[in-house]
Amino acid sequence: MKIQKELLDILACPQCKGDVRLNEETGLICDACGLTYEIRDGIPVMLIDEATHAD
């Protein structure tokens, strides 16, 4: 999974507006609310309904 640093810098969790960090195996993780957003074909899927809880 590769995502541009510029994009990562402006992305925020749609649920809590917290910062997200990249986990190469699972996607974008929000530590504030514990959600993980999948990255499909290099595009982050930032939909709350499709997010999973981080382990």
Q: What is the pLDDT of residues 1-45, one digit of tens each?
A: 567 888 889 999 999 999 999 998 889 999 999 999 999 988 899
Kindly report the CATH number assigned to the domain that includes residue 19: 2.20.25.10
pLDDT at residue 30, as a whole number:
96
User: Domain total for the chain?
Assistant: 1
Domain of 17, in residue numbers: 5-53
Give the tokens for residue 52. 């999973």
Helical H runs in 1-55?
5-10
pLDDT at residue 21, as a whole number:
94
> Phi/psi of residue 4, each to 5°?
-65, 140
Residue 37 near residue 51, CB atoms below 8 Å:
yes
